[in-house]
């Protein structure tokens, strides 16, 4: 994609991120920080894009004009849907925004609805694991170490997939991991509690998707479900490893939190997560070959099934 198209897609993503006026200020601040962190990968002034969106200077007709290929328009819409769904099912304000965006981009309503339904299915997947896995609710330390590492490798493999929908699957899989760990220590967690735990640790749901997808977009590694590759590396892409690291760190911090009776305060949780994140980043290179091998076995067309059955 050329820079004009990248700028247009990022603007759409930011508009989607702020479409829900009820978004927590903590998450809004994190979105701004993530947008600024992406600036090092491109000559685009992303901070200016954030201001244009917040001050309502961004124009959908101008964005549509910049997205002058069917593939770029489809990708922009898909990424906007994923941003809206990253923290759960779409709000009425987000649905209105996506309907307006689809019309501005001139996309087929049926195709757009099909993609939205796939994204909603991933976003609303139950946090409790499949029945077969749920039977072993109490894990030994070795079992938990393996579960955390396996989840980190799987999410690292998913991050290597080029499809826009793939990155979105990472968040519900992280939530499922936290659920399993909490249950192992006698806590029956619901989606709301897990979302609060992730946010307290410093992992915003919308901002995490925005960062991971934004890096792939700027690196030319994304493709739309309905279009062709917008860059060439696909499954063999050199990943930032953020999905591996964040999943690994979350798993170990969740174990510390729930094994200790949920006594860590907000600052202690954040410090623990940041310390573990640094350790996880150092491990990423060791496990990259396993992530690449697993990525070759994954089918982006079955992401909904993968999330629901894991």
Q: pLDDT for 266-285, tens place per residue?
A: 899 999 999 999 999 899 88
In Å, what is the CA distance from 242 to each residue of 65, 155, 167? 33, 9, 11
Higher pLDDT, 88 or 261: 261
Lowest mean pLDDT among 13-17, 145-149, 192-196, 202-206: 202-206
- What's the predicted TM-score (pTM) here? 0.85
Burial class (CB in 10 A: 0-12, 13-18, 19+), 228: exposed
Give residue 138's Cα distance to chain centre: 28
Contact 49, 35 (CB under 8 A): yes
Q: What per-residue confidence (pLDDT) applies to 203?
A: 79
Choose between 124 and 129: higher pLDDT.
Answer: 124
Cβ count near 301 (within 10 Å)? 11
Evaluate the CA torsion angle 22, 27, 32, 38 in order and state its sign: negative
Residue-wise pLDDT tens digits, 2-39: 888 888 988 998 898 888 775 556 666 766 677 666 66
Listed range (66-70, 207-211, 263-267, 304-308) with the worst mean pLDDT: 207-211
Both tokens assigned to 296: 């070759």
User: Is the pLDDT reported for residue 253 higher than 90?
Assistant: yes
How far is the C-alpha of 109 from the C-alpha of 295, rounded, in Å?
Answer: 31
Residue 232 confidence (pLDDT) above 60: no
**Sequence-distant (≥ 6) Cβ neighbours of residue 169 within 8 angstroms:** 122, 158, 303, 306, 307
What pLDDT sits at residue 136?
54
CA distance 145 to 149: 6
Asked if pLDDT for residue 75 goes beyond 80, the answer is: yes
Q: Which of 90-99, 132-141, 182-191, 301-310 has the lowest mean pLDDT?
A: 132-141
Q: Tokens 């899989």 appear where?
A: 173
The Cα-based distances of 290 to 160, 161, 266, 285 in angstroms read 12, 14, 34, 10
Q: What pLDDT, on the 0 to 100 scale, is given for residue 14?
A: 87
pLDDT given for residue 3 in this prediction:
82
- Which residue, 87, 100, 216, 97, is CA-closest to 161? 216
**Residue 215: what pLDDT?**
76
pLDDT of residue 39: 61
Buried b (16+ CB within 10 A) or exposed e, 19-47: bbeebeeebbebbbebbeebeeebebebe
Residue 140 has pLDDT above 90, yes or no: no
pLDDT of residue 125: 86
Residue-range domain boundaries for the chain: 3-122, 126-309
In this structure, of 108-117, 198-207, 222-231, 294-303, the range with the lowest mean pLDDT score is: 222-231
CA angle 128, 129, 131 (to 5 degrees): 110
Predicted confidence (pLDDT) at residue 40 exceeds the cutoff of 50: yes
pLDDT grade, residue 207 (50/70/90)? confident
**CA distance readout (Å), 251 to 72, 153, 185, 189:** 36, 12, 13, 15
């Amino acid at each position: 994609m050329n820079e004009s198209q990248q700028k247009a897609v990022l603007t759409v993503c930011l508009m989607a991120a702020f479409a829900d006026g009820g978004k927590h200020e903590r998450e809004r601040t994190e979105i701004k920080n993530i947008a600024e962190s992406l600036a090092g990968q491109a000559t685009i002034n992303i901070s200016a894009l954030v201001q244009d969106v917040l001050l309502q200077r961004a124009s959908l007709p101008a964005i549509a004009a910049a997205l002058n290929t069917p593939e770029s328009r489809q990708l922009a819409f898909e990424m906007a849907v994923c941003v809206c769904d990253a923290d759960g099912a779409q709000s009425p304000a987000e649905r209105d925004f996506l309907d307006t965006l689809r019309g501005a981009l001139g996309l087929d309503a049926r195709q757009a609805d099909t993609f939205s339904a796939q994204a909603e299915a991933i976003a609303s997947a139950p946090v409790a694991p499949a029945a077969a896995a749920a039977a072993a609710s109490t894990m030994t330390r070795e079992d938990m170490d393996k579960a955390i590492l396996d989840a980190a490798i799987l999410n690292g493999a998913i991050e290597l997939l080029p499809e826009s929908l793939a990155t979105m699957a990472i968040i519900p899989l992280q939530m499922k991991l936290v659920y399993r760990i909490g249950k192992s220590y006698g806590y029956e967690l619901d989606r709301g509690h897990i979302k609060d735990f992730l946010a307290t640790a410093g992992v915003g749901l919308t901002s995490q998707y925005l960062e991971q997808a934004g890096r792939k977009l700027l690196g030319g590694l994304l493709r739309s479900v309905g279009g062709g590759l917008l860059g060439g590396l696909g499954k063999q892409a050199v990943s930032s490893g953020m999905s591996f690291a964040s999943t690994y760190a979350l798993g170990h911090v969740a174990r510390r939190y729930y094994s200790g009776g949920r006594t860590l305060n907000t600052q202690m949780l954040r410090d623990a997560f940041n310390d573990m994140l640094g350790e996880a980043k150092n491990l990423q290179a060791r496990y990259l070959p396993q992530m690449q091998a697993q990525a070759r076995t994954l089918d982006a067309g079955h992401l909904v099934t993968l999330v629901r059955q894991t």
